[in-house]
Structure 1
Amino acid sequence: MVLPAVGDVDRMKRRIQSPDYRDWRKKVEDIYGCLHPVRLTGLWEIADKTSGEVLKSTSGHILAPCGNRRESVCPACSDRYAADAFHLLRAGLSGGSKGIPVEVADKPRLFVTLTAPSFGPVHNRRFTASGKQAPCRCGRYHHERDPLIGQPIDPDGYDYVRHVLWQAHSGKLWNRFTVALRRQLARAAGIPVREFADHARLSYAKVAEFQRRGVIHFHAVIRLDGPHGAVDATPSWGTTELLADAVRAAHAATHVTMKAFTIDGVPVRFTWGDQVDVRPIRAADAHQVEQADGTISDDRIASYVAKYATKGTGKSEAADRPIRSRAQIELLRTTEHHKQIMRTAWDLGAPVVCPDCHPDGPHRVDGCGCARIDHCATCDNGGYIPGPLDELNLRRWTHMLAFRGHFLSKSRAYSTTFKRLREDRQIWRFEQNLAELGVTADSVTVINHWDMTSVGHRSDEERELAAAIAERTRAARKHRYQTERTD
């Protein structure tokens, strides 16, 4: 039997010509081309409180953005996160928006970079003081996009265990740093440490970035406020120079020790790397990110740090989603170095054999110790108990190369919050609807009920079209931004 020949079908053309395409495209444009939208079914309406008349309504299917901050997963939602990060950081730097007064621009502020220590020599691009490129330790000259950059020169001698454990404790190391910084400031001001909160407040926004060697370093904007935060004047003794000296002293004094885990019988001690970059931020009347004297302008630094916020969440050289098995690591499209980091994290987070029902090691089919007991209360007959590093949840964070913190975090009084920015958008849309209807919020009732039905686009064609919409939206936004800028 010979089957009839079927001509090639242009599935993309067929989707564009389908009856529901315009409606679908409008919904995707409303979420800026999200690649993994949440499909909701339900009802939204605005009704008059007195008469019950429905003034405006929407029902059926709608799409909501996935909200993923990784550019590799969803460029559209990553762009929105970048915009929110910009406004959050910009408000704390220059004030005049989001409830932050403009006076913050006159306060002592620093842009600080804290790095990780070395766990073994890696390939890199080195330069002399005159700007001339020097050979790498391997003797070669690397191009800036050379895939060898960041990879260990001697993989067998690289300390992957300390790398993973330092990464897992980097959040605690930052917390200890802020505590030490407050103590240094109190001592420099001549006041008791316990009374520091009565005189001043340390405000900051911190962004984590993955270096190419697979380890985190932190960029932070640090500001010295009065005791009530941004609305309060900095005490007279608080200067930029004093804050910078305190940062350097706190950097040198900060450490975290793991007493429950040892390497060669010695408790593991973690510190920052030797490199620390401390730069003052001047008032917002400049046109350059960095001046000849090393100072940085407000407007450009907000863009700079916001870029790192999405760079860190968008690309980590690791995995976009949690790892479920050790075998999954081998299937990832990444370097052998990053795979070894993940293998080490996975192995360190593994459970250990129960010592009560398996005193001689792992379970054996013939003559195992667990056969002599009916029930083991220690492992509930599971054969394994949590390992010594179970509290670090290393397996849960293997896809993040054992980094367990947030990519962008801030102190309470630094500026606004992501939640507040989202609420502001919702209020703005609601007020637009009220203005269109010519009513006030007190005179209407809002009904909003939606149930999730699915996640993602329904076909490859829809995903490709959504990606094109996202790219076009990004290009239009970039053009508009460059056109509107006057500096």
Structure 2
Amino acid sequence: MPVPALNPHAIRGMITRLHDPDYARWAAQIRATGGCRQPIHLRGKVDHIDRATGELLHRYTTRTEPGGVLRVPCKTRRGSRCPACAEVYRADTYQLIRAGLTGGKGVPETVTAHPCLFVTLTAPSFGVVHTRREKNGKVLPCHARRDAETCPHGRVMSCTARHGTEEACLGEPLCGDCYDYAGSVLFNALASQLWRYFTDALRRRVAKLGGLTLRELRGRLTIAFAKVAEYQRRGVVHFHAVIRLDGPDGPASPPPAWATADALADAVRHAASAVSVPVPAVTDEPARVLRWGAQLDIRPITMGGELTERAVAGYIAKYATKAAECVGTLDRRISPLDDLAALPLREHARRLIAECFRLGALDGLADLRLTHWAHMLGFRGHFSTRSRHYSTTLGDIRADRETFVRDEEISTGRLPLFDEDTVLVIAEWEYAGKGLTPGDALLAAALTGTALPASPMDGGGDA
């Protein structure tokens, strides 16, 4: 595992922790967090009291813990902030998505016979950008044009380079002055609304194909979905979705015979082309209408076929832990008072953020909160969502894991066994900080086999 350059302060802190009399208990806490990079520090106690007599049966307090705090995982979904906790979120999302495709976790296995599609909805073009193109395993020129036009800003709109997968120019416009930065930011801000319109239009189209009204459709068929948002290198989001047809009782009942995968694909194509979101004209900005891009990918999900349920679940789970870092922005809020020129941003991301600030200051667009979500390039929706009847929930998956851990602690004697009907549990907790000192970050990485932050100083500090 590569180790970043260490500093004397981190090494001294590591040696001090190793010689701490409470090191064994501290190490046990770190292992319990799974290698969390920024563990939350809690201070408090938990009392178990006999309801009938008022007798204190058991007490846990953080006073005897190293530093007087209990360290628990931060549970973030963002891989850029904490890879360990993001991996747990990814695994949970994988199980949630796969359960809706193959059954399990309360979903019957008969769901595998229901029509199911993997759909990708993209954003329209806001200008020509550098891209990596392949055909039959061969890398093609980026944008080779024999008679390429020269834009109004004097740039030839052509690029003959065969870009590598990690080149910094990918996603950058050939001409930044021609690129529609306002359109890109507004699409991100309204993408969730466009998705909502899409699902409404999808239901209407399915009802029409079945010769039903929307009211009649609810009693005969349910459309279930799970989706995730992914940032493209150019800075706009697109959505990957699993869309499934069920009967009126959800995954436990089959859909009508006429509700086939072909009918669902027809409805998806119609809904994607039919919906739009109008943006009214405001100061210095003309009115516009936002739609999905022309690229629409619809593929059936099959057991053991070209696109398997494992591949789809893995794909969606992977992007559930990502944000806009691939565009070259920061994984934290950015204020209009910040000096954008001094921040470590790609130029394309810098201009998108500046456009968020500009548009966010206009009265007619204040409801989009573009200034608040500038670090996300305007997108303010949930990255992963699911309909009510798709499968289980992340909360249920986490509850099952907590129950398993509690049962294991009881069976090993680390936690006493109490009758929940006769014992009152009183918990008192307060937030006491988060993070690890540079020396603790080094030890935590060694104990759990996780990667260090880019710099040991990024770990934060004990409160």
TM-score range with shorter-chain normalisation?
0.7 to 0.9
SS for the counterpart of 2:320 is: helix
* 1:468 Cα deviation after fit: 3.8
The residue that corresponds to 2:328 in the other structure is 317
Give the structure-2-normalised TM-score. Answer: 0.85
Please tell me the residue identity of whatever aligns with 1:22. A
* 1:453 Cα deviation after fit: 1.7
* 1:15 Cα deviation after fit: 2.2
Take 1:473 and 1:141, find their aligned partners in 2: how far apart are those partners? 32
* 1:70 Cα deviation after fit: 1.4
* Alpha-carbon distance change, 176 to 103 in structure 1, aligned in 2, over 3 angstroms: same
* Alpha-carbon distance change, 46 to 430 in structure 1, aligned in 2, over 3 angstroms: farther
The residue that corresponds to 2:169 in the other structure is 148
1:136 aligns with 2:115: no
* 1:132 Cα deviation after fit: 2.6
* Structure 1 moving runs of 4+ over 6 Å: 6-9
Deviations 1:370-421 (A, max 9, x none): xxxxxxxxxxxxxxxxx11000000111010101111101111111222222
Take 1:8 and 1:114, find their aligned partners in 2: how far apart are those partners? 47
* Alpha-carbon distance change, 18 to 313 in structure 1, aligned in 2, over 3 angstroms: farther
Please tell me the residue identity of whatever aligns with 2:373. W
Take 2:10 and 2:445, find their aligned partners in 1: how far apart are those partners? 24
Q: Which moved more, 1:46-55 or 1:181-190?
A: 46-55
**Which residues in structure 2 correspond to 1:438-477 (within 5 Å)?**
439-457=418-436, 459-472=437-450
SS for the counterpart of 2:399 is: helix
**Which residues in structure 2 correspond to 1:76-475 (within 5 Å)?**
76-97=84-105, 99-128=106-135, 130-137=136-143, 138-261=159-282, 265=286, 267-283=287-303, 286=304, 291=305, 295-312=306-323, 317-350=328-361, 387-435=363-411, 436=413, 437=416, 439-457=418-436, 459-472=437-450
Deviations 1:99-125 (A, max 9, x none): 211111110101111111110000111
Take 1:314 and 1:469, find their aligned partners in 2: how far apart are those partners? 28
SS for the counterpart of 1:310 is: coil
- Using the aligned pairs only, state the percent identity: 41
Please tell me the residue identity of whatever aligns with 1:16. L
Please tell me the residue identity of whatever aligns with 2:442. E
> Contact 1:76–1:470 (CA<8 Å) still a contact in 2?
no
Aligned length: 421
SS for the counterpart of 1:221 is: strand
Take 2:324 and 2:112, find their aligned partners in 1: how far apart are those partners? 28
1:32 aligns with 2:43: no
> Contact 2:102–2:109 (CA<8 Å) still a contact in 1?
yes
Please tell me the residue identity of whatever aligns with 1:126. R
Take 1:282 and 1:461, find their aligned partners in 2: how far apart are those partners? 49
Structure 2: where are the runs of 5+ without partners? 1-7, 63-68, 144-158, 453-463
Give the structure-1-normalised TM-score. Answer: 0.81
> Contact 1:70–1:314 (CA<8 Å) still a contact in 2?
no
* Alpha-carbon distance change, 315 to 151 in structure 1, aligned in 2, over 3 angstroms: closer
SS for the counterpart of 2:219 is: helix
SS for the counterpart of 2:310 is: helix
* Alpha-carbon distance change, 188 to 79 in structure 1, aligned in 2, over 3 angstroms: same
Deviations 1:9-29 (A, max 9, x none): 744223222222222111111
* 1:322 Cα deviation after fit: 1.1
Q: Which moved more, 1:175-184 or 1:132-141?
A: 132-141
* Alpha-carbon distance change, 450 to 7 in structure 1, aligned in 2, over 3 angstroms: closer
The residue that corresponds to 2:45 in the other structure is 43
Take 1:231 and 1:217, find their aligned partners in 2: how far apart are those partners? 31
SS for the counterpart of 1:155 is: coil
Please tell me the residue identity of whatever aligns with 1:450. W
Take 1:109 and 1:55, find their aligned partners in 2: how far apart are those partners? 53
The residue that corresponds to 1:363 in the other structure is none
The residue that corresponds to 1:378 in the other structure is none
SS for the counterpart of 2:120 is: strand
> Contact 1:43–1:450 (CA<8 Å) still a contact in 2?
yes
SS for the counterpart of 2:307 is: coil
SS for the counterpart of 2:227 is: strand
The residue that corresponds to 2:457 in the other structure is none
Take 1:199 and 1:326, find their aligned partners in 2: how far apart are those partners? 55
The residue that corresponds to 1:63 in the other structure is 71
Q: CA RMSD in A?
A: 2.5
Deviations 1:447-482 (A, max 9, x none): 32211122222x2111232344454499xxxxxxxx
* Alpha-carbon distance change, 348 to 467 in structure 1, aligned in 2, over 3 angstroms: farther
* 1:345 Cα deviation after fit: 0.5
SS for the counterpart of 2:125 is: coil
Deviations 1:149-204 (A, max 9, x none): 11101111101011111111100011111011111111111112342212211110
